Structure 1
Amino acid sequence: MSFLNTIRGLGRSSKKNKKDIEPNAASSFYGHTEVPGSHIRRQSPTRASSPSKSGRSSNTSSPIKRNRPLQPTLQKQSQQSQVQFQHSSPKRAAASLNKSNQNTSIQPTQLPLFLCEPYVKTALVKGSFKTIVQLPKYVDYGEWLALNIFELFNNLNRFYGVISDYVTPEAFPTMNAGPNTNYLWVDSNGQAVNLPAGQYIEYVISWISNKLNDQSIFPTKNGGAFPPNFLKDCKNITRQMFRIFAHIYHNHFEKIIHLSLEAHWNSFFAHFVSFVKEFNLIDRSELEPLLPLIENFEQQGKII
């Protein structure tokens, strides 16, 4: 009988404890939150201009949570804990205070999908692209830059064509690369404006195409000389290409996975970063939205 009473007592106590414990919120493996666009009007089309001066804005503000008033029972418990804390030794009080501060400061962080395994380690080939992007012997410096930028842009344009139908103004009213990065477009009047992501990318693609087809910037005839500002144009082009990479990684990577293209996409991005890193075409501060991914690829040896 004592054994049965013990079991019954355990059952009652476990039921009581189960009632007191608040359920934890379930965390999903990854989440893709669409930006609500029902209350946001689509901006009128803006005349495309050179995006070389387009800026970046960061959203660091967050909603402030209001503290609810304590219930009488909770107030009584807090008063009792304060009394116990006062009667305890100073060392124990300091230790308990530090422990409570650590527990309150720790918040669960959710990694983007492209940083989660196995996707972050998925690639078509092993090794780095160092030897592929290096300037070959007896090849002109300008010709090598022009050739690689032309091929990288065409491949990026094809990748974007796969997911372009999903880049709607309602879902993506701004050209963002994560919650803290928003790219602005500089119009013909020199004003930085917010554009829907699809419109921004279409402007970039059109602007780069015009640059590549301009014989005064990218000459194709024998004996054609590259202009003095050729390197500056290459930097502006690759910077805008990176912004398309960043937007797709942060907002459309699950679509890339659905199409089983994550290995192609990761290898293509590693190739692109290896190229711009080899010739110092993009400042490291500009790579910030995808810097954790780039550093991960560097640790894996994909980027050297």
Structure 2
Amino acid sequence: MSLDTASPSESQTSLARRPPYFFREEYSALIVRGNFMTLAARPVHVDEGEWLAHQVVEQYRLLESMIAIIRVVDEKTGQSICNPEVCPTMSASGHTYTWLDNNKRPIKIPACQYIQLVQKWILGKISDPNLFPTDTSLPVIPPFQSSTAEWLGKSSGFPANFEGDIKSIYRQMMRCYAHLYHGHWLDPFWNLNAHKELNTCFIHFVNVGKLFNLIGDKEMEPMQPLIDLWLVKGLLPAPEQAAGADTTPTTATAPAPAA
């Protein structure tokens, strides 16, 4: 199989003059068949907070497996595939993402450093028993919340900031996926014949995000053409399906990454 009019060895810069290959239907295939919406749907007797906590952890595990591919060190250069020289900023399709420094000022940093900080930040969140409680036998009611207030996951012991935090986690994972595609689809994913694995992890991520309103259209913009291809094929929930899974929004806690 070849990339029609061009060789996979072309630089990413030259590809910028036309739509990236991963936005074309012939490169949107997956490694598995089946309905990803079924995988994302919450089982009837499982609390939504528990299900979303499980899904966020699972989606992070899948993303980690894709990030590991761009971390492989080239024996000739001694550098990983994603390095400060190749990717001096965390960017995707004209979007440049910034990080907040110790003084809460947005700064541009190399993509490899940004992704590493995202991973550390997400691990801190999902390992925090106050946010992802392992004992959900009793609901958590912070002092500043009325006992009559309602929020996502309250009945299973999740805090009032749970929904806002998992949306922040999802936003950062989306940025990582966007960079994997726009910065590294050819090298290493196409060269290693791993682009279908990347597609499979990403469509599962988007399915959960859309079905439970964890991510908005603005965040998905860098990958929208590929998402639209899957929507046409019926592989992703239509807007009305996603709307049916909406939960009551809560106030999001500002994460370390800049918006």
CA distance in 1, matches of 2:126, 2:33: 31
Give the structure-1-normalised TM-score. Answer: 0.63
Distance 1:117 1:281, change over 3 A: closer
Q: 1:209-288 alignment to 2 at 5 Å?
A: 209-223=123-137, 225-254=157-186, 255-288=188-221
Q: Which runs of 5+ in 1 are unaligned?
A: 1-26, 36-107
**In 1: Cα distance, 2:189 partner to 2:227 partner:** 18
Q: Determine what percentage of the aligned residue pairs are the same residue.
A: 37
Structure 2 vs 1, CA of residues 234 and 119 (structure 1 numbering), >3 Å: closer, same or farther? same
- Runs of 4 or more, structure 1, over 3 Å off, are 27-31
Aligned residue in 2 for 1:119: 27
The aligned amino acid for 1:204 is V
Please identify, of 180-189 and 241-250, the stretch whose mean Cα deviation from structure 2 is larger.
180-189
Aligned residue number for residue 202 of structure 1: 116
**Contact 2:100–2:106 (CA under 8 A) maintained in structure 1:** yes
Q: Which position in structure 1 is the counterpart of 2:88?
A: 173
State the alpha-carbon separation in 2 of the partners of residues 29 and 117 from structure 1: 18
Query: Does structure 1 conserve the Cα–Cα contact (< 8 Å) formed by 2:30 and 2:199?
Result: yes
Larger radius of gyration: 1
TM-score (norm 2): 0.74
RMSD: 2.0
Q: How many angstroms does 1:126 deviate by?
A: 3.2
Within 2, Cα distance between the matches of 1:34 and 1:212? 37
Structure 2 counterpart of 1:42: none
1:217 to partner: Cα distance = 0.4
Distance (whole Å) between structure 2 residues aligned to residue 174 and residue 109 of structure 1: 20
Q: Is the 8 A contact 1:204 1:240 kept in 2?
A: yes
What stretches of structure 2 of length at least 5 have no aligned partner?
72-79, 139-156, 238-259
Amino acid across the alignment from 1:169: P
Report if aligned partners of 1:34, 1:172 keep a CA contact under 8 Å in 2.
Answer: no
Q: Which one-letter code corresponds to 1:119 in the other structure?
A: Y
The answer to whether residue 208 in structure 2 is matched with residue 301 in structure 1 is: no
Where 2:11 maps in the other structure, the secondary structure is: coil
